Amino acid sequence: MSKRSDQLFAFLVEIAENIAQATETFQRELEQGGDFGALASRMKTYEDKGDELISKLISLLNNTYITPLEREDYVMLATTLDDIIDGIHACSVRFTLYDVTGSTPTMIEFAKDIHRSAKEIQEAIHKLNERKLLQIRDHVKELNVLEKHGDQLLHAALRSLFAESKDAIELIKLKEIYEILESVTDRCEDVADVLESVILKNA
């Protein structure tokens, strides 16, 4: 295996680790009810780092003749991973745009699920780096479970919002934030789908 091929996997590992760190920070800040303006700034920093790593991966991919995985698999993994961090950054920006002053239990529950998903992805990418392809399936299954929980959480939250909210503007704000958070769990499942495809092609 060439050094360039090893570096392709190393970039994927770094991208996954960056997402795990971002989602951990996101969860912690929501639990602590911190400064949402500062949170948006931190998420932008993680997003920029992810973009830089993906750019380096694509550049290396374009200059590597033979790759262990199909080129499209590297690109799909990179772009679906990028969608996760884009989603939590978009959510953190909404907090500031909508002048959200505190976290709700639903936000915190979503943040926990997203961080759990990011950890599953991180472990799966490490196993991909170690060429332990069949062991990745356990993480794929868990990501599917977490995505289904995200669907259930959104439905329950929206039912509660429409049944109990007396403020239409507040309802609209929270509804959009919850839907963005649920979409991030979908993006995590997208990564799981790409990993499953990689397993089928290479195991």
Residue 1 in this model has a pLDDT that exceeds 80: no
Residue 70: left (phi > 0), alpha (psi -120 to 50), or beta?
A: beta
Residue 198 CA: distances (Å) to CA of 30, 35, 41, 74: 34, 40, 34, 10
Buried b (16+ CB within 10 A) or exposed e, 31-48: eeeeebeebbebbeebbe
Rounded to 10°, the helix 168-202/136-164 angle is 170
pLDDT-derived band at 116, boundaries 50, 70, 90: very high
Question: CB 131: neighbour CB atoms within 10 A?
Answer: 12
What pLDDT score was predicted for residue 196?
Answer: 96
What pLDDT score was predicted for residue 183?
Answer: 97
What pLDDT score was predicted for residue 4?
Answer: 76
For residues 154-169, give the mean pLDDT. 94
- N-terminal to C-terminal alpha carbon distance within the chain: 17
For residues 96-120, give the mean pLDDT. 95
Could you give the domains of the chain? 1-200 (1.20.58.220)
Alpha helix locations (H) across 98-167? 105-129, 136-164
For residues 10-14, give the mean pLDDT. 95
Buried b (16+ CB within 10 A) or exposed e, 53-81: bbeebbebbeebeebbbeeebbebbbebb
| Range of weakest confidence among 24-28, 51-55, 157-161, 162-166 | 162-166
Residue 23 CA: distances (Å) to CA of 72, 96, 136, 163: 26, 18, 21, 30
What pLDDT score was predicted for residue 33?
Answer: 82
pLDDT-derived band at 87, boundaries 50, 70, 90: very high
Residue 203 in this model has a pLDDT that exceeds 80: no
What pLDDT score was predicted for residue 175?
Answer: 96
Prediction pTM value: 0.94
